[in-house]
Copies of this chain bind each other. A is one copy, B any other.
Amino acid sequence: MTDEARAYHHGDLRAALLDEAAAMIAEGGAASVTMRGLGRRVGVSRAAAYRHFEDKTALLVAVAAAGFSRLNDRLAAVDASAPRSGVERIRRMGEEYVRFALENPAQYRLMYGREAIARRDLPELREAGNALFEQLVDMIQAYQESGKIKRQDPRAQAYVAWSAVHGLASLLIDEQILTAVDVDGLIRQTTRTVWDGMRVRRRRGA
């Protein structure tokens, strides 16, 4: 065998396939990923991937799972470094979430797309998605306990907040929002509005 990678066996084909597939998705969307094209780019035959993934969908789902895990890490980093309370924290988290979507539009779309749904049974995917949500629920619970926001079902509140950022991210990457608008400002306004809507407010009547 020569020294470098190219013997009959690859070394770590699985990882190489995931990386290259992610690159193809970033370049041309999930639809542009082809078993044959992928094999060509990795320097391997068209059917080689089937030794590591049950089928094409499984490969895409694995890329989606990797996306969730990257997103988790980024949010956790912000969670650790952001100010302890107030709108600012929420804003930073929401901003990071949307920014991830904008930087990885095709992968983000894949994470919430049909293939991913079809294989929700895969623990890899399920756990990554759930971790994200639970992180959000915890945050909301903390805000409730410190008396900043209304005491409602924290999961319902989490769904509301998630809806807002996910909706904004989706509309942005699907180019439904005029590109002329100030994206950062829109993110700020979205998180601000949701935050204000959740804050406790004084009653004046009965």
Residue A86 lies at the interface, judged by CB distance under 8 Å to chain B: no
List which A152-179 residues lie within 8 A (CB) of chain B. Answer: 152, 155-157, 159-160, 162-168, 170-171, 174-177
Residue A88 lies at the interface, judged by CB distance under 8 Å to chain B: no
- Size of interface on A: residues with Cβ below 8 Å to B: 41
Q: Which of A160, A163, A192 has the most chain B CB within a 10 Å cutoff?
A: A163
A196 touches B186 (CB 8 A): no
Name the residue of chain B whose CB is nearest to the CB of A115. B31
List which A173-194 residues lie within 8 A (CB) of chain B. Answer: 174-177, 181, 185-186, 189-190, 192-194
B189 touches A120 (CB 8 A): no
- Chain B residues positioned under 8 Å from A143 (CB to CB): none
Q: Which 8 A-B pairs have the closest CB atoms?
A: A167-B167, A197-B197, A193-B197, A163-B167, A163-B168, A196-B197, A166-B167, A164-B164
- Chain B residues positioned under 8 Å from A129 (CB to CB): 176
B156 touches A167 (CB 8 A): no
**Given A114-B31, A167-B166, A194-B197, does the pair A186, B174 have CB atoms closer than 8 Å?**
no
Known: A157-B189, A162-B171. 10 other contacts (CB 8 A): A31-B114, A155-B181, A156-B189, A159-B171, A159-B186, A160-B164, A160-B193, A163-B190, A193-B198, A194-B197
- Chain B residues positioned under 8 Å from A165 (CB to CB): 163, 167
Name the contact of A189 in the complex, choosing from B160, B167, B192 (C-beta under 8 A).
Answer: B160
